[in-house]
Structure 1
Amino acid sequence: MDLEQTKTICIIGAGAAGLAALKAILDAPQYKAGLWKPVAFEARDQIGGVWLPDSAPSDSVLPQTPLYDSLTTNLPHPVMCFPSFPFPPSTPVFPAAVHVQRYLESYAAHFNLGPFIRLKTLVSDVRRESSKWTIRLNSGEIMTADLVIVANGHHTIPRYPNVPGIDAWLSAKKASHSVWYRRPKFLGDRVLVVGGGPSGTDISGEMRGACTTLIRSISGAVRDDSSEHFKIRGRTTRFGENGQVFFEDGSVETVDYCILATGYQVSFAFFSEPLLRASLPPPCPPLPDTLYNSTWHIFPLARHIFPLQAVFPPTSLVFIGLPVRVAPLPIMEAQAAAILYAFAHPASLDVVAESRAVLARYAALDGNPRAWSVFQEDEQFDYRDELYAFAGEDVRVPRWLRDMYKAKALLRSFWVELERRGEADDWVRGVGEGGPEEWVNLLHRLLAAAEEWESGK
């Protein structure tokens, strides 16, 4: 990179991913030398992204976030926080969404990110023109950038299951996607929740108190009729008339309403073809020359970040925050480090070697787009180590963090038990005042107590 030439960096989104990218830019020597000029555009009136509430969404307007009132994290905050910025002392180990939103606001304030963020500014179009990126805003303003960091998240556009009859149920308002769910309310005596993820679990738990019988549909689940008030079924195969729902095991249930906790599509409204094709990519090898959005993944991306295609330099437009089933915030900081290193040193990204790695993952996953961005347990930690190594930084994920991530379900169950007993606040009171290591020690004590509690059940 020519260090004498000023470069403009555009960040799309000021949720956690955009904040991580902006913070990394301000830390860079190029910014401190006046050579990098960043600006982040946020469509909403505050930072925070998915953690910023949209508490009263209209039935006819897509909510700006799927955040429901009772949401708490499913990871301990010492595991999920930005490594550069721990949560405040005495924070609940599994904080509510309001704590996370305040945390992101504190992160932005601590690193003085605010002056570089333009709120209520929607990026409406991004295209490559004359070796630069042309950015069009909803205000009518047009700007150019040398680097575009796409950080707009992927929890906005609902994914509806491809199941016969669902469209008729949606039209009749007998079903809705969980993006509209905020709190339990009476929707009928018999309610079906479709989906096996965290939101499906949380919503099912809450709705059990708002109906007589709650039925949960989870692909691959074994039928369970052990309770007349809570039933488990496998995959839903058809939505019929008169409230009938058919399942893969041949069973049929009659329900009054269905909540679809079936996930979200990867979506970028500011891209158009041929820059990003809205379809499944062709079979590989070879890798395609253009970029594809299957709605499950963006392909092909080196390191889940850099687009491998023939239209623009792969280090000039990048994606941050796409991996799922991970601790996202620390991954975002690691991705930001890799992005800026590659931007400053484009030759560091070996396109041939990266293409081989993408093809190897494609073969290992048998080309399954649904699995592309899904990380398995330790894979995310190895990924973080590799990103920092690529960026020339000697940073490695500590053993305790890997261990606590594996124990996340037990830790969360025990934390809920501590809250039930009224003991949770005592566990965290004052923790962190002496430094982040206090949180690590607390997690070890918490896990030991959780294992003893689990064995005594």
Structure 2
Amino acid sequence: MELPSTFVFQCIPLQPLFDQKQICIVGAGPVGLAALKVVLDAPQFKAGLWKPTVFEARQNVGGIWLPASADDPGYEDFSPTTPLYDCLTTNLAHPSMAYTDFAFPPSTPLFPPASTVLTYLNSYADHFHLRPYIHHNTTVTNIEYQSPKWIVQTGPPAPSSPAKFDLVIICNGHYKVPRYPDIPGLGAWLDARKATHSAWYRNPSSTLGSTLLVVGGGPSGQDICNELRLSGRTVFQSVSSPEGLGPHARGQLSQLNDPSKGEVTFSDGSTLSNIDHCIFATGYEFSFPFFPPHVLQPSVSDPIPPLPTTLHNSTYNVFPLAKHIFPLQTAFPPTSLAFLGLLIRVAPFPLVEAQAKAVLAAFSNPEKLDQLSEAVDVMNRYQELRTRLWDSNSASGNEEIQISKLWHRFEPLEQFEYRDQMCAFAGDETRVESWEVEIYLKKNLLRKVWNALVKTGEAEQCIRGVGKGGKSEWVELMKWMVKKGEEEDLEGKARL
């Protein structure tokens, strides 16, 4: 007889109703919604043994995909609740980024705008009846462990009575606190309002000046540069490797000089002047303001071995975590607290589904998590990253910081092996499909072809009706587009 995909959960003896376990999920963005849906699918929930509660600080679901208002608390002085800019489209094709059991609608643009993703997340919440478990406009202010429960405090405006939970799942995202580089002169430019973080960027009309400097070469930095240039601005871009990026590309920014003169200096000694405004597209810090220091220390861990006995947030990583999820420390049971969605440069929606399944499997049966084996895995990854840094001559500055920056960053194929491992750990039969790997490795070429179709007006016709017959239609279309792009690249090289 073939076992169902959730057999790990079904094999657990059902407890009496009075022993109902309380599960807290912090955040109702894409990660929190996935976690909640996996809880509702579990037989323990259906038997009345688990009760989930989601706390969401904002007025609706969606997380980063829910636009911020200038009226939101802290918008001007601290940071917007989301860094969503007007021209943002996904950098992954939607069949690659969708949840495994809920596709985007037929005819959806292959790289949809943010508003389409938000609609998709709302549809997901409605389709799986998630909303009754979500408490909106509720900010988690403090989480502490008092054996055998987690005590969760919420507020403002009025603090609630503390609630007790058996499991806390952290899904608060990591695009809230802007990260600025440590560059001499930055404070003066910020005070003069001649520099901002990309978190505040919305469109060209929100940016003053005709000569601009964008610091950062990631997706946001590139999008902002392209849009500002199309608006007629002169835009310089500071990146670590400027070769081949055009006449306005510069190396790493090393100093901001007199803001009144708009003078800046780069690592090669070259300078620019008359810069009207500088936009830092330099990423975000991991932030968990609801944890007191005795639960999560705001510091970089000491070199290992041995592993620390306390949990650390370096702002680049949370350490040490088993499977990038479970805290390996001695103050509380590792399977009673879980961090989801910390991994970057991945297709996040299906990955966090797999993580949520692993969390519930370990919560159901804590002995499944072999802490000794997991500690060995953490130390092996540490040595692997340390070796990688030295082999690439990148071990400059504080080595622990360099390792922290790489800790939750996967190489392109690692995420797919990891997803399968999480599902296997949970006893779930879901596995990565071969097309997912193939398309992910060609994601930049696919987006290039899509943008070309948009420019020529062919994109709408290309996707019309696609998806009505299922996911296979999208896979067939994407493979055709990749082939088209490869052939055009070969023709271009031949002409050269």
Amino acid across the alignment from 1:65: T
Amino acid across the alignment from 1:21: A
Q: Give the match's secondary structure for 2:204.
A: coil
Residue-pair matches, total:
453
- The structure-2 alpha-carbon separation of the partners of 1:190 and 1:223, relative to structure 1 and needing over 3 Å to count, comes to farther
Question: Aligned equivalents of 1:279 and 1:223: distance in 2?
Answer: 38
Give the aligned partner of residue 217 of structure 1: 238
Q: Can you list the C-alpha shifts for 1:371-417, whole angstroms capped at 9, x where unaligned?
A: 00111100010110110111112222111110100101111111111
Tell me by how many angstroms 1:45 deviates.
0.2
Give the aligned partner of residue 49 of structure 2: 35
Of 10, 13, 20, 1:6 maps to: 20
Q: Work out whether 1:296 is the aligned partner of 2:316.
A: yes
Of 447, 450, 474, 1:439 maps to: 474
Question: Aligned equivalents of 1:44 and 1:132: distance in 2?
Answer: 26
Give the aligned partner of residue 395 of structure 2: none
Question: Aligned equivalents of 1:125 and 1:178: distance in 2?
Answer: 29
Tell me by how many angstroms 1:273 deviates.
1.1
Give the aligned partner of residue 247 of structure 1: 266
Deviates more, 1:409-418 or 1:60-69: 60-69
Deviates more, 1:434-443 or 1:6-15: 434-443
Q: Taking structure 2 as the reference length, what is the TM-score of the superposition?
A: 0.89
Question: Aligned equivalents of 2:263 and 2:226: distance in 1?
Answer: 22
Tell me by how many angstroms 1:223 deviates.
7.6
Q: Can you list the C-alpha shifts for 1:14-54, whole angstroms capped at 9, x where unaligned?
A: 00000000000000010010000001010000000000011
Amino acid across the alignment from 2:90: T
Q: Work out whether 1:233 is the aligned partner of 2:247.
A: no
Q: Give the match's secondary structure for 2:479.
A: helix
Is the Cα–Cα contact under 8 Å of residues 147 and 332 in structure 2 kept in the other structure?
Answer: no
Larger helix proportion, structure 1 or 2?
2
Q: Which runs of 5+ in 1 are unaligned?
A: none
Give the aligned partner of residue 31 of structure 2: 17
Q: Give the match's secondary structure for 1:192.
A: strand
Is the Cα–Cα contact under 8 Å of residues 216 and 232 in structure 1 kept in the other structure?
Answer: yes
Question: Aligned equivalents of 1:95 and 1:179: distance in 2?
Answer: 20
Tell me by how many angstroms 1:454 deviates.
2.8
Is the Cα–Cα contact under 8 Å of residues 188 and 211 in structure 1 kept in the other structure?
Answer: no
Deviates more, 1:294-303 or 1:214-223: 214-223
Give the aligned partner of residue 147 of structure 2: 130
Taking the TM superposition and a 5 Å limit, the aligned residue runs for 1:78-97 are: 78-97=95-114
Tell me by how many angstroms 1:210 deviates.
3.6
Question: Aligned equivalents of 2:337 and 2:14: distance in 1?
Answer: 19
Amino acid across the alignment from 2:372: V
Q: Can you list the C-alpha shifts for 1:238-285, whole angstroms capped at 9, x where unaligned?
A: 001121111112211111110000000000010011110001001100
Q: Work out whether 1:322 is the aligned partner of 2:342.
A: yes
Question: Aligned equivalents of 1:32 and 1:274: distance in 2?
Answer: 36
Amino acid across the alignment from 2:357: A
Taking the TM superposition and a 5 Å limit, the aligned residue runs for 1:305-320 are: 305-320=325-340
Question: Aligned equivalents of 1:437 and 1:265: distance in 2?
Answer: 38
Give the aligned partner of residue 302 of structure 2: 282
Is the Cα–Cα contact under 8 Å of residues 223 and 233 in structure 1 kept in the other structure?
Answer: no
Question: Aligned equivalents of 1:395 and 1:269: distance in 2?
Answer: 35
Taking the TM superposition and a 5 Å limit, the aligned residue runs for 1:86-235 are: 86-138=103-155, 139-141=158-160, 142-185=162-205, 187-222=208-243, 227=247, 231-235=248-252
Deviates more, 1:17-26 or 1:433-442: 433-442
Give the aligned partner of residue 288 of structure 2: 268
Tell me by how many angstroms 1:211 deviates.
4.8
Tell me by how many angstroms 1:163 deviates.
0.8
Question: Aligned equivalents of 2:423 and 2:432: distance in 1?
Answer: 10
Question: Aligned equivalents of 1:405 and 1:130: distance in 2?
Answer: 44
Question: Aligned equivalents of 2:225 and 2:287: distance in 1?
Answer: 27
Question: Aligned equivalents of 2:264 and 2:434: distance in 1?
Answer: 46
Amino acid across the alignment from 2:37: K
Tell me by how many angstroms 1:189 deviates.
2.4
Tell me by how many angstroms 1:450 deviates.
1.9
Q: Can you list the C-alpha shifts for 1:140-188, whole angstroms capped at 9, x where unaligned?
A: 2210000000000000000011111111101110100000000013522
Amino acid across the alignment from 2:57: A
Calculate percent identity across the aligned residue pairs: 50
Give the aligned partner of residue 87 of structure 2: 70
Amino acid across the alignment from 2:456: R
Amino acid across the alignment from 1:75: L
Of 340, 355, 362, 1:342 maps to: 362
Deviates more, 1:305-314 or 1:234-243: 234-243
Amino acid across the alignment from 1:154: H
Amino acid across the alignment from 2:22: T
Is the Cα–Cα contact under 8 Å of residues 214 and 235 in structure 2 kept in the other structure?
Answer: yes
Amino acid across the alignment from 1:381: F
Q: Give the match's secondary structure for 1:153.
A: coil
Q: Give the match's secondary structure for 1:315.
A: helix
Question: Aligned equivalents of 1:258 and 1:211: distance in 2?
Answer: 16
Q: Give the match's secondary structure for 2:357.
A: helix
Q: Give the match's secondary structure for 1:355.
A: helix
Q: Give the match's secondary structure for 1:199.
A: helix
Give the aligned partner of residue 259 of structure 1: 279
Is the Cα–Cα contact under 8 Å of residues 13 and 41 in structure 1 kept in the other structure?
Answer: yes
Give the aligned partner of residue 50 of structure 1: 64
Q: Taking structure 1 as the reference length, what is the TM-score of the superposition?
A: 0.97
Is the Cα–Cα contact under 8 Å of residues 308 and 314 in structure 1 kept in the other structure?
Answer: yes
Question: Aligned equivalents of 1:123 and 1:384: distance in 2?
Answer: 29
Tell me by how many angstroms 1:55 deviates.
4.6
Tell me by how many angstroms 1:199 deviates.
0.2
Deviates more, 1:250-259 or 1:40-49: 250-259
Q: Can you list the C-alpha shifts for 1:68-87, whole angstroms capped at 9, x where unaligned?
A: 00100000111111111111
